[in-house]
């Protein structure tokens, strides 16, 4: 089985995006705020968006299952207030659950949290527990910068984040570190802000002792880890000098996906980072949707890059395509085992 650990519902209908825009516009005017019913997406609209988008490309490119979450850019925790963030997270998570119910063999749900720049992280814990315990989500996206590119909050090593980590460990659920849209004109969203965040959070974790306090906590850093694999020697040296410990110890808790859109980049990632810490991901349909004019292939067809890594063994590919995801997301593994047993019983 080929499991894509990184997919978003980027093909939602325009009406869903329009409802969000009105919700933000009237964030401080509850009387005139749009009714929740206005955000409803029909099953036919889901089929049109996903069926002609993610599902079609999933089948064409040869993957089997995608961990599916709300649109990262539209999380936009910097917009509105804590009340609107909670409503938006609830609506978005419920919609992802419906996608997975319509296509249970193709998608498994991962959620977003109702974070807000003005709210302590602990306020997101009830929604985290709801989506995992009640809706069967196997993971969550955790935004390290709810301010949208201004980084006004505290680093992820600060103890204000600990209630979220306690809940993640209690439910044995990993978090993908994923920012949302950038409202800072200096930082393009997907070209700078995303990669800056991936790199920044890794450095925060290097400087702190979060994993000493939470040894079972697991983070997936997307987009190939930003600058981390490329500058691995820099971080190894800093870890020894600043934290007096080998950097490799962080690899018990930190994992990277393969959302790197060229062959040399994926080869570097899989050469520098141990295979056990690499999860197949495509971000499809995401940051880059077009084709490479040199070969006519889609940039975000990341499976073909792994297929082209001649240094990888069959065992390596099995781990990256399936085994690592099932280990890092134990609720996914349990779900797949349950389905296999049901199939055998039938």
285 prior amide bond cis, ω within 30 = yes
State the Cα–Cα distance between residues 58 and 64, nearest whole angstrom: 7
- Give the pLDDT score at 117: 95
* 3-class state of residue 268 by DSSP: helix
* Alpha carbon distance 218, 197 (integer Å): 17
What are the strands, taking DSSP E only, across the chain? 3-8, 65-69, 107-111, 139-142, 175-177, 219-221, 254-257, 278-279
Which position among 82, 127, 267, 283 bears the catalytic label? 283
Check: CB of residue 284 under 8 Å from CB of residue 67: no
Rounded Cα distance, 327 and 339, in Å: 17
User: CA-CA distance, 337 to 281, in Å (whole number)?
Assistant: 21
Instruction: Residue 306: name the closest of 296, 318, 292 by CA.
Output: 318
Please provide residue 28's backbone torsions phi and psi, each rounded to the nearest 5 degrees: -105, 20
Does the annotation mark 283 as catalytic?
yes
pLDDT in tens, the chain (346 residues): 999 999 999 999 999 999 999 999 999 998 899 998 999 999 999 999 999 999 999 999 999 999 999 999 999 999 999 999 999 999 999 999 999 999 999 999 999 999 999 899 999 999 999 999 999 999 999 999 999 999 999 999 999 999 999 999 999 999 999 999 999 999 998 999 999 999 999 999 999 999 999 999 999 999 999 999 999 999 999 999 999 999 999 999 999 999 999 999 999 999 999 999 999 999 989 788 899 999 999 999 999 999 999 999 999 999 999 999 999 999 999 999 999 999 888 7
* Secondary-structure breakdown of the chain: helix, strand, coil percentages, each rounded to the nearest 5: 50, 10, 40
pLDDT of residue 289: 87
Closest CA to 146 of 171, 108, 97, 113: 113
Which of 164, 145, 144, 175 has its CA nearest to residue 67?
A: 175
- The reported pLDDT for the residue numbered 295 is 93
Tokens 């044995």 belong to residue: 172
The reported pLDDT for the residue numbered 191 is: 93
């Amino acid at each position: 089985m080929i499991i894509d650990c990184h997919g978003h519902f980027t093909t939602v209908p325009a009406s869903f995006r329009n409802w969000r825009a009105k919700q933000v516009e009237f964030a401080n005017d509850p009387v005139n705020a749009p009714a929740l019913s206005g955000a409803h997406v029909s099953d036919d609209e889901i089929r049109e968006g996903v069926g002609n988008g993610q599902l079609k490309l999933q089948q064409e490119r040869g993957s089997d299952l995608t961990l599916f979450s709300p649109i990262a850019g539209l999380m936009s925790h910097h917009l509105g207030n804590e009340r609107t963030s909670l409503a938006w997270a609830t609506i978005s998570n419920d919609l992802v659950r419906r996608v997975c119910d319509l296509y249970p063999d193709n998608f498994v749900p991962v959620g977003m949290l109702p974070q807000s720049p003005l709210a302590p992280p602990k306020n997101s814990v009830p929604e985290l527990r709801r989506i995992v315990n009640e809706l069967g989500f196997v993971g969550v996206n955790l935004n390290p910068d709810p301010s949208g590119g201004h980084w006004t909050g505290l680093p992820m090593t600060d103890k204000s984040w600990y209630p979220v980590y306690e809940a993640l460990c209690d439910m044995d659920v990993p978090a993908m570190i994923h920012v949302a849209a950038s409202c800072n004109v200096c930082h393009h969203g997907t070209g700078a802000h995303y990669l800056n965040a991936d790199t920044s959070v890794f450095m925060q974790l290097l400087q702190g002792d979060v994993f000493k306090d939470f040894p079972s906590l697991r983070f997936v850093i997307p987009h190939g880890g930003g600058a981390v694999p490329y500058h691995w020697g820099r971080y190894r040296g800093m870890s020894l000098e600043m934290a007096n410990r080998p950097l490799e110890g962080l690899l018990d808790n930190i994992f990277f996906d393969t959302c790197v859109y060229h062959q040399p980049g994926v080869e570097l990632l899989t050469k520098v980072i141990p295979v056990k810490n690499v999860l197949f991901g495509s971000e499809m349909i995401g940051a880059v949707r077009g084709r490479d004019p040199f070969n006519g292939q889609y940039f975000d067809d990341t499976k073909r890059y792994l297929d082209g890594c001649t240094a990888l063994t069959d065992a390596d590919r099995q781990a990256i395509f399936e085994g690592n995801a099932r280990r890092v997301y134990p609720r996914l593994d349990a779900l797949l085992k349950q389905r296999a047993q049901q199939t055998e019983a039938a």
